[in-house]
């Protein structure tokens, strides 16, 4: 009779081993899932934020105010440090983009970038107030301590040399205290010529001289161009009217145009938008120039979701904005004058404002 193998019952030791393997496998799965869900990577997601009406956020004393039909919204981008799971989700959502930490912040920490953006928001409100009151005929004096770089165009002469947060305090040995002085000095320069810039960090340290070759402005080849957007550090005004704009936790300079238009709407009878719901993005400086900031893709989506009927963007971002418009009317505005001209076509703008002063306040 041949031998027959009879299965033996598992020993206590082998059962314990199998259980251990199962527990280790489960723990690894939990660890991997937890890592994917909770561990933040050096990448950030940019997604559509909010579209907020400016007029309810504005309060004014010492001047008559009005409530008008329509709305002027400013737009935000939601910035979040990403997990693996959020990166995977971003790759499947066309409205979300991913940027590396280095591309977003450069050599700055996230907290340093936040502090600068908070100051940019405060300066943006002041510049908007200055522009609105000046357009209505008020005379305002200003002071500052230099021109802060808010953004650098990737194809501009300053790319790779100047960075967000640098402060330009001199051009060719002449002091620069206001952003408007920098704009004038660069505009007077000859494209192709070399210029010396005196530059500091935002806190005033590490002053140095940088030599750059001016490019030509895209809209005027006879004028010098650095390819940067800037605002005035420590900007101070003597306003004849007290204005408060409650922007909440939002920071950065990109609501400058919206705040300017919103304040004009609050201070004058008749709807500046012709009764329409409009959205805008763009910085505002003391010369009335509207500058780009970025995130226009996400801002267009936010504007569409809010039900906006018209959106104003700097011309350099127009093509990108219209790519995602899906029926939303989007028009270029590189200055307050151009923004008001667009609004005039819909029954607002200059049609509901007093005549423009013949000579505006100097600074």
Query: What average pLDDT does the segment 131-153 reach?
Result: 92
In order of their start, the domains of the chain are: 45-139+240-352 (3.30.230), 143-232 (2.30.42.10)
DSSP 138: -
- Local confidence band at 361 (pLDDT 50, 70, 90 cut-offs): very low
pLDDT digits 0-9 by tens, 253-283: 899 999 999 999 999 999 999 999 999 999 9
Q: What is the mean pLDDT of residues 332-348?
A: 97
Q: To 10 degrees, what angle do helices 256-267 and 110-135 make?
A: 30
pLDDT of res. 131: 95
- Mean pLDDT of all residues in 99-108: 77
Q: Half-sphere exposure (CA, 13 Å, Cβ side) for 231?
A: 34
What pLDDT score does 232 carry? 86
For residue 289, the cross-strand partners are 335
In this prediction, residue 93 carries a pLDDT of 83
Mean pLDDT of the region 13-21: 66
Mean pLDDT along residues 280-292: 91
CA-CA distance, 91 to 100, in Å (whole number)?
14
pLDDT in tens, 29-59: 655 555 555 577 788 889 999 999 999 999 9
How confident is the model at residue 76, as a pLDDT? Answer: 94
> Does the pTM of the predicted model rise above 0.75?
no
pLDDT of res. 19? 67
Rounded Cα distance, 258 and 306, in Å = 15
Instruction: Examine the pLDDT at 68 and tell me if it is beyond 50.
Output: yes
Give mean pLDDT, residues 281-300: 92
Please report, rounded to a whole number, the percentage of residues in the chain having pLDDT higher than 90: 56
Judged against a pLDDT cut of 90, whether residue 219 lies above it is answered with: no
* Dist CA 328 CA 313 (whole Å): 12
Dihedral pair phi/psi, residue 4, rounded to 5°: -120, 130
**Strand-strand pairing, 242-245 and 142-143:** unpaired
Task: Give CA–CA dist 216/70, Å, rounded.
Answer: 39
């Amino acid at each position: 009779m041949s031998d027959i193998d009879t299965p033996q019952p598992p020993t206590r030791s082998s059962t314990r081993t199998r259980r251990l393997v199962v527990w280790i496998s489960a723990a690894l799965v939990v660890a991997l899932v937890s890592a994917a869900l909770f561990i933040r990577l050096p990448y950030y997601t940019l997604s559509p934020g909010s579209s907020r009406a400016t007029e309810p956020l504005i309060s004014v004393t010492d001047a008559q105010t009005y409530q008008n039909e329509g709305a002027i919204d400013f737009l935000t981008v939601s910035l979040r440090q990403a997990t693996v799971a959020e990166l995977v989700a971003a790759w499947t959502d066309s409205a979300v983009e991913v940027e590396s930490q280095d591309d977003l912040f450069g050599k700055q920490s996230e907290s340093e970038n936040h502090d600068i953006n908070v100051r940019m928001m405060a300066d943006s409100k002041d510049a908007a107030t200055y522009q609105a009151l000046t357009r209505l005929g008020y005379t305002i004096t200003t002071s500052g301590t230099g021109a802060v770089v808010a953004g650098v165009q990737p194809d501009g002469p300053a790319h790779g040399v100047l960075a967000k947060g640098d402060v330009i305090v001199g051009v060719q040995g002449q002091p620069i205290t206001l952003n408007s002085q920098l704009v004038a000095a660069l505009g007077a320069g000859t494209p192709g010529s070399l210029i010396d810039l005196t530059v500091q960090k935002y806190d005033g340290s590490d002053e140095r001289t940088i030599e750059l070759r001016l490019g030509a402005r895209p809209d005027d080849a006879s004028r010098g161009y650095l390819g940067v957007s800037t605002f005035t550090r420590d900007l101070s005004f003597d306003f004849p009217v007290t204005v408060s704009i409650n922007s909440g936790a939002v920071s950065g300079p990109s609501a400058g145009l919206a705040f300017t238009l919103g304040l004009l709407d609050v201070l004058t009878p008749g709807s500046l938008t012709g009764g329409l719901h409009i959205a805008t993005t763009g910085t505002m400086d003391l010369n009335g120039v509207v500058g780009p900031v970025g995130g226009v893709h996400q801002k267009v989506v936010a504007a569409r979701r809010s039900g906006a009927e018209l959106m104003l963007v700097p011309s350099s971002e127009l093509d990108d904005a219209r790519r995602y418009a899906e029926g939303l009317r989007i028009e270029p505005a590189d200055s307050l004058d151009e923004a008001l001209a667009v609004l005039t076509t819909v029954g607002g703008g200059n049609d509901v404002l007093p005549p423009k002063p013949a000579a505006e306040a100097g600074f």
